[in-house]
Structure 1
Amino acid sequence: MEMASGSSLLRTLAIIILCYYLFKFLMRIFAPIIMQKAVNKMQEKMQEQYKKQQEQQQNTTTQSTQFQSKEKGKVGDYIDYEEIN
């Protein structure tokens, strides 16, 4: 079995540290952009849901108003049923 030399170990550690700091630097640049896009997308979804809810509420209100107006104008005959033995 071959032992790793000190220079290859240092080189590996240097690459790992360099990758870590590169990742950290890139996240400082791109994380706010990514977060802003995610927030905008969530905001759009919430607005769509709000609009759908408002439309549904208006439709329900309109339908109940129409039903009530039909009921008020409708006068029918009263039929008395008798029980037959």
Structure 2
Amino acid sequence: MIQEASVMGLLRTILIILLVWFGLRILARLFAPILMKFVAKKAEERFGQQFGGFQNQAQQREEQKRREGETVIDKMPQQNKSSNEKVGEYIDYEEID
């Protein structure tokens, strides 16, 4: 049995497709910010679990080693800062108009 497509059926199908398309666009605009906040929150939690653990463990070890009132210097400045004497001498100049 062969069925023929009618013009009304074609228009009805196109109308349904358009309504679904615009409906999804409206829903996406409503729910996209909520979805993005959820994804960002989950990514932040994962990042905190991965890298926060290392930082907390190192801080706890340092705190155990330190005594109350003790001064700790983490980085000493470099002492061997020498000037380059081969640069030449500095000459002041004035601009002439």
Matched, 1:38 2:39: yes
Give the aligned partner of residue 55 of structure 1. 56
Alignment of 1:60-79 (within 5 A): none
Q: What is the TM-score normalised by the length of structure 1?
A: 0.63
Report the Cα distance in structure 2 between the residues aligned to 1:26 and 1:61, rounded to whole angstroms: 52
- Is there any run of 5+ residues in structure 1 with no aligned partner, and where? 63-85
Cα distance in 2 for partners of 1:4, 1:57 equals: 73
TM-score between the two structures when normalised by the length of structure 2: 0.56
| TM-aligned CA deviation for residue 58 of structure 1 | 4.2
Q: Can you give the 5+ residue segments of structure 2 that lack an aligned partner in the other structure?
A: 64-97
Tell me how far apart the structure 2 counterparts of residues 14 and 3 of structure 1 sit (CA, whole Å). 19
**Alpha-carbon distance in 1 for matches of 2:48, 2:32:** 24
Q: CA RMSD in A?
A: 2.4
Task: List aligned pairs for 1:4-23, cutoff 5 A.
Answer: 4-23=5-24
Task: Quote the offset at 1:2 in angstroms.
Answer: 1.7
Q: How many residues are matched? A: 65
**Pairwise CA distance, 1:3:** 1.2
1:53-74, CA deviations, whole angstroms, 9 ceiling, x for partnerless residues? 1134346768xxxxxxxxxxxx
